[in-house]
Every structure is written in structure tokens, then in C-alpha cells.
Structure 1
Amino acid sequence: MVACNNFASSKMKILNKNMKILAFAGSNSKKSINKELLNYTLNQIENAEIDLVDINDFEMPIYSIDRQLENGFPQEAQDFYNKIKDAEGVVISLAEHNGNFSVALKNILDWVSRIEMPYLKDKKLLLLSTSPGAYGGGNVMEVATKYFGMFASGEIVASTTFPSFNDNFQNNEIVNEELKNKVLAQVSIFQEALTSVES
């Protein structure tokens, strides 16, 4: 286990460098509950080198084809793309805005998809989502499953929604045993999928 208390930390190493994992929350809020859930989840992953990024560091002009043709790709788009290419696995905790990705995340994905599509080919994914409500970000999870799995060609090996965050997560811990076991089970599936690639 490794402490993931500082979300802004760009890279953390866990034991051996067996697996390279890119991790980010789909929110640009400083008080994002998805960042909290992501940090907890990353603390459960062993034998990996985790590149934990904040999407605020990849803020770019809203994508448009005219802007791309006139100015090319922003450096932030290329940097994010490179991080994806360097990873074997990707962990994303999805914030739900009006039933979809946050604008901040969607814009990054729009830019990256113009560099290469599908950009997640051969990548193993663990998808998380949470919200204050009982559906736990279920709408954005449905969107993400189709987008990341079909259009971006990632292999979603594990996923889970986490409902009623404020009731079930306190002091950096999951206090609902059923939900805790659910998250840990998905982490285990994700790790096993990555380990099978390494072996």
C-alpha cells in the first residue's frame, strides 16, 4: 500500500515497477469526492508505478477543428496522450455532470482523440464513479463504458459505482462494508488483469 494523500503529486511508486498505471479523476474541483474515492482506491493497489495526474494541469481551449488546423495540438494534449501511451492500465474516477462527463474531462478527451483514435487500444481500465446521490454516478458510468470501451477501444476489466458518498465515505475510508468489499473486489480483478499481461 502507498499513501496517496497529495493528489497533486505527479508520480508515486509502489513496491516493484511491475505495472504502469495512469490515474485521474474526471473533475476539476479542488474538493472533488471522486478524487477522494480515487485516492482510496489507489492505496489498495500493489506492485505498481502510479502516475496520478490532476486534469487541471491539462486545461486547454475548447476543441474545434478550426483551432486544430490553425494552431495544431496544444502541448497539454500531447502530454496527456503520451501519459496514456506510457501506461499499461488506467484508473479513472468519473464525476457526473448532467448525466455525462465533466466539461473539463470531455475537452481533454476530444483533443486526445484527434491525435489518435482509438487511443486506449491494449490498455486495461478500472472505472469508478461516485456522487452524493443513490445512483452513484451511474449515468456517467454508462456513457464511459460505451465511450472508453467502444470508441477508444480500451479493455474495461473492472468497474463500480459508489452511491451516497457522504454517507458511505468518511475520514478517507469507506465505512460501508458492502461497498468496501465491492471496491476491493474490482481492484483485485484489475490487478489480476494487469499481472496476466506482465506474466
Structure 2
Amino acid sequence: MKITAFAGSNSRSSINKKLVTYTASLFNQPNTTILDLNDYDIPLYGLDLELEKGIPNDVLRFSNVLKESDLLIISLAEHNGAYATVFKNLFDWLSRVDGTKGFHNKPIFLMASSPGGRGGASVLEIAKARLPFNDGEVIDTYSFPNFPSNFNDTDGITDAELKSILLDKIENVKSQLKF
């Protein structure tokens, strides 16, 4: 089983990257890749740019990683109640790659976190509704609230109830995909 995980953020100290990295480790799958959007040079999408220069190589490279995966774990940053610009831009480019609408009909475990009590619930709902139109099969979701109070770099999730919920969701994803 090949898992690819990434955060919809370009912050070097992204709480969503910490959450998605931690979550991916709980799957205990040796073939797991954690992507960092900062490692991809992806210009701001525009039709004129696409017509002039085509799809950027790093978009094609990212798309190929998704295509070769059996499960995507994505944790989205929430900016003003919606996607972070870096994720929306990637999403726009991925939707332009020939032969796909973006996510190659891959199952997605979709997550979000925030410093606040809603845990990125707004962006999570937007993405849960939108990704199926772009060949993404959202098989479960997880909202993680109050990140600074409930997570540390040594132990991961420190709140027992929130950790139990995540572990149950991981088991659900594994059973759906027959891990």
C-alpha cells in the first residue's frame, strides 16, 4: 500500500504538516511519502500562462506522485474560512493535467487543523464537497481543534479523546481499503 501525505500549506512550521506527518506514521506502512509543497516550484495559475508555457514540470511531477499512490492523506490549512492559496493554486493546476480532473480517483483521508476550536471545519466541509468533482474519493474526514493545546512534537496528539477519534478513523480507512 503506497501512501502519500501532504499539508495544504506552505508554512515551514505548518501545524497541518505536523498533523499529516503524525497521522501518516500511525498507518505503519513502510511505503509512505510525505510531500512538502515548498519543494515544488508552481507559479500562480492563469490560463494565459498555461497557454503560453503549458503545465509546469513540478505540477506534472506532483500529479504523477498522486497517480502512483493508493491513499492520499491531506491536511488542509484554513485561511479566512477556505483553502490556503498554495493549495488552491496546486488544485487549479492539477485540474488541468491531461487525463485527470486532479486526484486520479484516489481515496483521500481528508483532515484539517487550526489553533481555534473549530479545527478547520470550514475548509474541511468545502474540500469534502469539492474534491469528488475532481476525481478525489473522500473516504473519511478528521477535524483537529486547538492544535497548540492538543499536540506536541514529542507525543503527537495529547488529548486522549481526540487521539481515540483519529485512531478509529484510521482503522475505518484501513478497513475500507483492506489494508
TM, length-normalised to structure 2: 0.93
* 2:45 pairs with one of 54, 63, 70: 63
Report whether the alignment pairs 1:180 with 2:163. yes
Contact 1:124 1:193 in 2 (8 A): no
Report whether the alignment pairs 1:33 with 2:9. no
Contact 1:124 1:190 in 2 (8 A): no
CA–CA separation in structure 1 for the residues paired with 2:172 and 2:30: 15
CA–CA separation in structure 2 for the residues paired with 1:121 and 1:171: 32
Runs of 4+, deviation exceeding 6 Å? none
CA–CA separation in structure 2 for the residues paired with 1:112 and 1:192: 28
Q: 2:139 aligns to what?
A: 157
Report whether the alignment pairs 1:148 with 2:148. no
Partner-residue secondary structure (3-state), 1:115: coil
- Structure 1 residue runs without a partner (length 5+): 1-18
RMSD (Å), alpha carbons: 1.4
* 1:120 pairs with one of 86, 103, 119: 103
CA–CA separation in structure 1 for the residues paired with 2:41 and 2:10: 9
1:47 offset after TM fit, Å?
Answer: 3.5
Which deviates further from its counterpart, 186-195 or 125-134?
186-195
CA–CA separation in structure 1 for the residues paired with 2:70 and 2:6: 14
Counterpart residue type for residue 80 of structure 1: F
Contact 2:96 2:102 in 1 (8 A): no
Identity of matched residues, % = 38
Contact 1:92 1:126 in 2 (8 A): yes
Counterpart residue type for residue 166 of structure 1: P
After TM superposition, the structure 1 = structure 2 runs for residues 77-88 of structure 1, keeping only pairs within 5 Å, are 77-88=59-70
1:52 offset after TM fit, Å?
Answer: 1.1
Q: 1:139 aligns to what?
A: 122
Partner-residue secondary structure (3-state), 1:25: strand
TM, length-normalised to structure 1: 0.84
- Structure 2 residue runs without a partner (length 5+): none
